[in-house]
Amino acid sequence: MDPFELKLKNALTRNEPIAPAELAALNDNIVKSFARKQRGFHRLLAVYLAVMCLLIFALMALFMATSDLKMCLLFAVVIVILFEGTALMKLWFWVMHSKIATLREIKLLQLAVAELKTQASTGAQTTAPALPDDADESAAASTPTEPSKGRLRRAFLIVAWLLAVPALVYFGWRQTPCPPQDVTTYLERANSAADAAQWQQSFTVTQARQHFYPQLLTGGKPARAWISVAAENHEPMYTGPVDTESIIGFGQAAPGRYVVKGRTEQAGGNFTLRIGGVDEVPGTPSPGQSFLRLFFLMLSAAATVVIPLVWLQNRWIRHIDPEPQRW
């Protein structure tokens, strides 16, 4: 450097320091912006995960509720894509933090080596260099308020979880009209899937009930039969379909002889048509009720299984990597 350059350097490096209060205000604004952005980012991730999970549950409920094969395939594909979306997001987050944690370890080692070098060159007594951030963390961890805060939070979450699971089960259960329990059976007829021809059978009612109550017992497979029930030498009192899950009632089950004509419309295997008598019929669940019932039941299943699993997973991660990190 020539004398002019030295003069220039001296002139430029000597600046009047800005007023501390002004500087502090400027710093605070910037740090607040950073904290705001971090909070926004974490909220965005939480909302993204929540939306993805809700969509997955909703689609699973639709998947279970629909009987159309093409729609089932569509729902399954979308569920897989959404599931991959959540898994990839979590994987990206984990990889990013692992990378930063590894780099941090390397930098801490470099710092230790640099400090030892400095001490060796100055001839000072060799001691382990202080690693600034670790000291802060251990100090923060040893403060007495932290564990009690954690315990309170954990207790609150456990209570919330214990309340959430039965609440979800209850809401799911409420969507289902309970099928009648006290049924007097008048007729049971076994049908095979190949039994497409129309059939006819008569039965006698000895114990009077308020309504007839037809059921298809299929062992879970969807089936549909078309029946027509009439008192002997009378007009039919019901002509229409009976589905696997339908809860319908018709007419009055008065004592006497009755004739039922039937035709199988759809069957995945053998099934039994039962015609019984009940005093009260709550009605067939609507598609919306079926969907909501499955949705709430799946949410309750998730709350029962997934939340404890995630909690255990996080505990395990903390166990294998004790560095305090924001997973």
Partner 1 sequence: MDRSDSIQDDLLVLQCQQGDAGCFDRLVRRWQQPLLNYAYRVTGDWAVAQDIVQETWLAVIRGLITLKDVAYFRTWLYRIASHKCQDHWRRKQTRQGFAEELQKQPLATGAPPNAERADIDASFRRLPPDSRTVLALMYLEDFSIGEIAGLLSLPEGTVKSRLFHARQQLRQLLEKDYGPV
Which spans of this chain sit near partner 1 (rule: CB under 8 A)? 4-5, 7-15, 17-18, 22-23, 26-27, 29-31, 33-35, 37-38, 41-42, 96-97, 100-101, 103-104, 107-108, 110-111, 114-115, 117-118, 132-133, 325-326
Query: Which of 211, 233, 219, 313 minimizes the C-alpha distance to 269?
Result: 219
DSSP state of 144: T
Query: Which of 182, 234, 186 minimizes the C-alpha distance to 206?
Result: 186
Considering beta carbons, is residue 70 or 326 the nearer one to partner 1?
A: 326
User: Is the distance from CB of 243 to CB of 224 less than 8 angstroms?
Assistant: yes
- Shortest Cβ 6–partner 1 spacing (Å): 9
Structural element, H or E, at residue 104: helix 69-122
Q: How far apart are the first and last CA of the chain?
A: 51
Considering beta carbons, is residue 1 or 194 the nearer one to partner 1?
A: 1
Which residues 6+ apart lie within 8 Å of 125 measured at CB?
A: 119
Angle between helices 69-122 and 20-65 (to 10 degrees): 150
User: Is the distance from CB of 141 to CB of 150 less than 8 angstroms?
Assistant: no
Return d(Cα 277, Cα 212) in angstroms, integer: 5
Which residues 6+ apart lie within 8 Å of 160 measured at CB?
A: none
Considering beta carbons, is residue 17 or 322 the nearer one to partner 1?
A: 17
Considering beta carbons, is residue 29 or 198 the nearer one to partner 1?
A: 29
- Shortest Cβ 147–partner 1 spacing (Å): 20
- Shortest Cβ 103–partner 1 spacing (Å): 6
294's tokens: 């499955």
Considering beta carbons, is residue 19 or 69 the nearer one to partner 1?
A: 19
Query: Which of 87, 62, 46, 53 minimizes the C-alpha distance to 301?
Result: 53
- Shortest Cβ 37–partner 1 spacing (Å): 5
* C-alpha radius of gyration, the chain, whole number: 36
Which residues 6+ apart lie within 8 Å of 303 measured at CB?
A: 161, 164, 165, 168
Considering beta carbons, is residue 127 or 181 the nearer one to partner 1?
A: 127
- Shortest Cβ 69–partner 1 spacing (Å): 45
- Shortest Cβ 313–partner 1 spacing (Å): 20
Considering beta carbons, is residue 40 or 147 the nearer one to partner 1?
A: 40
- Shortest Cβ 305–partner 1 spacing (Å): 30
- Shortest Cβ 28–partner 1 spacing (Å): 9
User: Is the distance from CB of 82 to CB of 59 less than 8 angstroms?
Assistant: yes
Considering beta carbons, is residue 100 or 208 the nearer one to partner 1?
A: 100
